[in-house]
Structure 1
């Protein structure tokens, strides 16, 4: 259900908005000491993700340049799928 809702949100908002869905989760994973999600941390992770995706899109298959959105959806979708499968294995559903 989570993957389907993410796919709908991405199709409506565009593939670059997918970074906004993945960045807070990655920030929370990287900084587990504090409860909740830090807004500056999520913003920094989002900026790094987007800059990294843009660099990969421009240089991975040179001289052909991929759309940055294709890279963000591929990386973010894989990460969110990994998160969902990890929760299922640990017995957590929510």
Structure 2
């Protein structure tokens, strides 16, 4: 769910590029999260879902805060 928001910020108003950029970003984020999960604790593997949640939660909180400040 993080990739479409990031893609929207990257491509701006060019809607034709939104889906391909979001798909590419999603793939890059998942590969990076998998690599980070394997690297963090070498004998163990941290699940990809946990790593993506740790990366995505602060970004969504930022988006919520930004949206609330705009609505006031």
| Structure 2 CA distance for aligned equivalents of residues 32 and 79 of structure 1 | 18
Structure 1, unaligned stretches of length 5 or more? 1-20
> How many residue pairs align between the two structures?
72
Alignment of 1:51-70 (within 5 A): 51-70=31-50
Displaced runs of 4+ in structure 1, greater than 3 A? Answer: none
1 or 2 for the larger relative contact order (CA 8 Å, sep ≥6)?
Answer: 1
Q: TM-score when scaled to structure 2?
A: 0.83
Q: Mind listing any 5+ residue stretches in structure 2 that lack a counterpart?
A: none
User: 2:27 matched to which residue of 1?
Assistant: 47
Q: Give 1 or 2: higher helix fraction.
A: 2
TM-score normalised according to structure 1 size: 0.66
Two-structure CA RMSD over aligned residues (Å): 2.1
